[in-house]
Amino acid sequence: MSNRKKIYFNPPQQLVMYTGAHTTVFVAGRRIGKTHGVAGPYVQRNAQKMPRSSGAFVFPSYKRGLTNTLPGTLNALNSFGFKRDLHYVIGRKPPKSLGFAKPIIEPANYEHVIYWYNGSIQYFISQDITGSSNSLTLDWLLCDEAKFLDFEKLKDETFPANGGIKSHFGHIPYHHGMLIISDMPTSKKGSWFLNYKEKMDLELIDTIHGIIYKLWEIRNKIQEYKKKEQPIPKYLTSYYKYLSKSLSKFRRAAVYYGEWSSIENLLILGENYIKQMKRDLPPIVFQTSILCKRLGTLRDGFYAALNSKIHYYTRNNNSYLQDLEYNLKAIQDNSSLQDGDIQPLEPICVAMDYNSNINWIVAGQPEGIWINVLKSFYVKYERKLPEVIDDFCYYYRHHMKKTVVFYYDSTALGSNYAVNDEDFKSVAEMRFNQNGWTVELIYIGQPMKHIEKHLLINRLLKGQVEGGLTPRINEENNEELIVALENTGTRNGSEGFKKDKSGEKLAESEEDKLEYRTDGTDAYDTLVIGMNKFPYNSSGIFTGSHMGGR
């Protein structure tokens, strides 16, 4: 009885597999099967075609690798029949009882390695772990979630390592190859791989596809001869060998770039999924993550000085994650224990924005010359201000200093449209107390005029305020906030220069989702202004601001 198992691959996945280019860039929408139908087969093919080789997964961060890339890839391998602790092990040297072959170059340690039965290994390279590419000699790369990867680090640290042992695998067209996977980026920083489109030779790709079709025809003819029990003509087998060699030669030189929307996987996803995503996702995310469209960037935004290279950072508690020993279920239990930027013995500063349909918390702590924007939270509709505070308290349930420094302005007083009978400040203080947190209240007065706020925050972002704290944002914990900040515009009205908040009071629609409007940016403003003008330490409020009275 045959043990073969039929597995469905959609057209984009099949194109990638059949083309087999040396370098492949797969830019596609959500749920098209980037991990299961592209990354999984790629890893399996390279591990088996190049036994005892050394490949690598490249992660934006160790946390993203463990929570996003690795679970999907292992699930794909499992569906292909490859079982953990039978065909491969993770994070340890396999016991001799398994009888695994040895890699050509054995790793110095096995903590961040997948080790296969045939001696193939794959390293985990995390860009938030300094030097994780150092001293490696690699035969291939898989760059997942590429829009979050730092290209300068790739170019300087990882690409040079992808120059493995040619004497062993020089005949393999995939040797030193690379697979880059992402959905469409929304920022310039994340767009580094889009230029591979210009590197693709369409005639070469068409030639590869033509050879593949011709080889398929020849195989069918050979099968016909076998069925008829007739001798196979020598010219047919010779031609087949010639085409196979040509295919390897062309594949070795090929770059294949493709962009696909989630609609390409409609047979599996169903039409209702696409409709639901259009309803549930903000327009920007729907266009990039589902339709895979390239977008332009907002010019002259309210946060014009915001620079992803300066003001975004990633810092996870990799020691904690490593101690979980690839227990993927435990990793899914998200909490501040996974964060490397939290100061557990210090209070957490918070600011909020209150609305009948959406309520926000933006949390931060000072660190040297910086305000670290640690994480943001929001709730919608029937979940109100108490619920977003509950979410905050649950996420920070392991925090040792359960004190929040609550910055609020006059909009938190005398209003109650997010709650029933008390103003926002009172409800927030009570809910924190109910969750076991102490609240230090800091009133910052009336909201600043928009032009003053715009000038101050952008000067802080540029580091132009003497003694001021520059805000920077934990990129992985503030994805919605970042999109909102990057897309907040300006307008000139009867009252002069304004942050463009015209959409805040409109009903949510398919084209205009709440969490990507300006509500969250207002909480960010309050936090940044409050922490600069009214700094706090464990002794209480300072008498002066960080800004020398400016």
Mention the CATH class of domain 11-197.
alpha beta
Which one has a higher pLDDT value, 33 or 503? 33
End-to-end CA distance of the chain: 81
What proportions of the chain, in percent to the nearest 5, are helix, strand and coil?
Answer: 40, 20, 40
Is the pLDDT confidence value at 534 over 90?
yes
Is the pLDDT confidence value at 457 over 90?
yes
> What DSSP character marks residue 545?
-
**Could you tell me the two tokens for 219?**
């195989």
Mean pLDDT, residues 405-422 taken together: 79
Which one has a higher pLDDT value, 134 or 474? 474
Q: Confidence band (pLDDT; 50, 70, 90) for 297?
A: very low
Bridge partners of 452, per DSSP, are none
Q: At a CB cut-off of 8 Å and minimum separation 6, what does 94 contact?
A: 100, 115
> Residue type for 231, please?
P
What share of the chain has pLDDT > 70, as a percent? 85
Does residue 416 contact residue 354 with C-beta atoms inside 8 Å?
no
Is the pLDDT confidence value at 484 over 60?
yes
Arithmetic mean of pLDDT over the chain? 87
Residues shown for the chain: 550
Q: Please give the Cα distance from 464 to 497 (Å, whole number).
A: 22
Q: Confidence band (pLDDT; 50, 70, 90) for 193?
A: very high
Give me the half-sphere count of Cα atoms (radius 13 Å) on the Cβ side of residue 282.
Answer: 16
Which H or E run includes 372?
A: strand 370-380
pLDDT of residue 28: 86
pLDDT of residue 398: 97
DSSP calls for 138-191? -SEEEE-SGGGS-HHHIIIIIGGG----HHHHTT-TTTTEEEEEE---SSSGGG
> What DSSP character marks residue 415?
-
Put residue 446 in one of left, alpha, beta given phi > 0 → left and psi -120 to 50 → alpha.
beta
For β-strands 470-474 and 312-313, DSSP reports them as: parallel
Q: Please give the Cα distance from 507 to 475 (Å, whole number).
A: 28
Q: How far is CA 179 from CA 12, 86, 230, 323, in A?
A: 14, 26, 43, 29
User: Quick one: which of 488, 385, 397 has its CA closest to 428?
Assistant: 385
Q: Confidence band (pLDDT; 50, 70, 90) for 544?
A: low
Listed by start position, the domains of the chain span 11-197, 204-253, 308-316+335-541
CB atoms inside a 10 Å sphere around CB 470 = 20
pLDDT of residue 1: 42
pLDDT of residue 323: 86
pLDDT of residue 279: 57
**CB burial string 11-39: b at 16+ within 10 A, e below:** ebbebbeebbbbbbbbbbbbbbbbbbbbb
Global pTM value: 0.75
Q: Please give the Cα distance from 183 to 30 (Å, whole number).
A: 7
Is the pLDDT confidence value at 156 over 60?
yes
pLDDT of residue 418: 47
Q: Please give the Cα distance from 170 to 416 (Å, whole number).
A: 70
Mean pLDDT, residues 322-334 taken together: 82
DSSP calls for 89-133? EESSPPPGGG-PPPPSS--S--TTEEEETTS-EEEEEETTSTTTT
**Could you tell me the two tokens for 185?**
């980026």
Q: Confidence band (pLDDT; 50, 70, 90) for 475?
A: very high
Which one has a higher pLDDT value, 351 or 188? 351
Bridge partners of 407, per DSSP, are 351, 442
Is the pLDDT confidence value at 425 over 90?
yes
pLDDT of residue 548: 56
pLDDT of residue 131: 80
> Residue type for 65, please?
G
Q: Please give the Cα distance from 46 to 548 (Å, whole number).
A: 60
> What DSSP character marks residue 509?
B
pLDDT of residue 298: 55
Q: Confidence band (pLDDT; 50, 70, 90) for 135?
A: confident
Which one has a higher pLDDT value, 283 or 141? 141
| CATH annotation of 308-316+335-541 | 3.30.420.280
Does residue 484 contact residue 520 with C-beta atoms inside 8 Å?
yes
> What DSSP character marks residue 22?
S
pLDDT of residue 68: 87
What share of the chain has pLDDT > 90, as a percent? 63
Is the pLDDT confidence value at 477 over 60?
yes
Does residue 531 contact residue 364 with C-beta atoms inside 8 Å?
yes
Is the pLDDT confidence value at 280 over 90?
no
**CB burial string 77-94: b at 16+ within 10 A, e below:** beeeebeeeebbbbeeeb
Identify the weakest region by mean pLDDT among 207-216, 224-233, 249-258.
224-233
Q: Please give the Cα distance from 16 to 9 (Å, whole number).
A: 10
Q: How far is CA 307 from CA 484, 539, 547, in A?
A: 14, 34, 22
Is the pLDDT confidence value at 80 over 60?
yes
